[in-house]
Amino acid sequence: MDELYDLKNRMEQERPSSWEELPDIALYMDQLISYMPRQLIRFDEGTPLTSAMVNNYIKDGLVPRAEGKRYGPIHLGYLTAVVALKKVLSVRHIGALMGAGRALEKTPPEQYGYFCQALDRALTDTAQSINPEAGQSDLAKMALDFAVRSYANQLACQRILSILQPQEEKGKRK
């Protein structure tokens, strides 16, 4: 099935730009919005990011404030992670996860590098589970396997974040 070959190929090949490949010139909001769809695999034509969403992520502390009205690699890196994670986590949980990264005193390029490595591992693992030769009758089983794996991963993630959050709140009180 051509669609499964395409899916498998894209999951094996398409990755966000590395930190060094991110534009090193400051971008205005409209440039930022038009750049972001290149960062993650998309199959739908919906808008992955709007200026209102960017402003809300800044207000929520997920993304640093712009320098003037210009956005650089640090903003692109954080937004890439937020847009991907928003599919599976709440803003609160994304904030906890990013706060944990900052607490480890990792620089934004180090945090982004780890995010890209984790995404690469996940996409590669998922691509290996796609059988492009699957018949129509096997698609429902394959989809169920991915859904159940997503459920299990999200369950573990939510629990780990709830364990992590009290430690962060203790650190804030000190």
pLDDT band at residue 174 using 50, 70 and 90 as cut-offs: very low
**Burial environment of residue 8 by CB neighbours within 10 A (0 to 12, 13 to 18, 19 or more):** middle
Higher local confidence (pLDDT), 46 or 154: 154
Q: Which pLDDT band, with edges at 50, 70 and 90, does 32 fall under?
A: very high
**Which tokens sit at 120?**
């690469």
Residue 12 has pLDDT above 80, yes or no: yes
* CA–CA dist 118, 63 (Å, integer): 20
Domain hosting 49: range is 2-173
Q: What is the mean pLDDT of residues 124-148?
A: 94
Residue 169 has pLDDT above 70, yes or no: no
**How many independent structural domains does the chain possess?**
1
Q: Are 100 and 68 in contact (CB under 8 A)?
A: no
What whole-number distance in Å separates Cα of residue 26 and Cα of residue 49? 18
Model confidence at 172: pLDDT above 60: no
pLDDT averaged over every residue in the chain: 90
**Considering the entire predicted model, what is its pTM?**
0.88
The per-residue pLDDT for 167 is 54
Tokens standing for residue 141: 């089983």
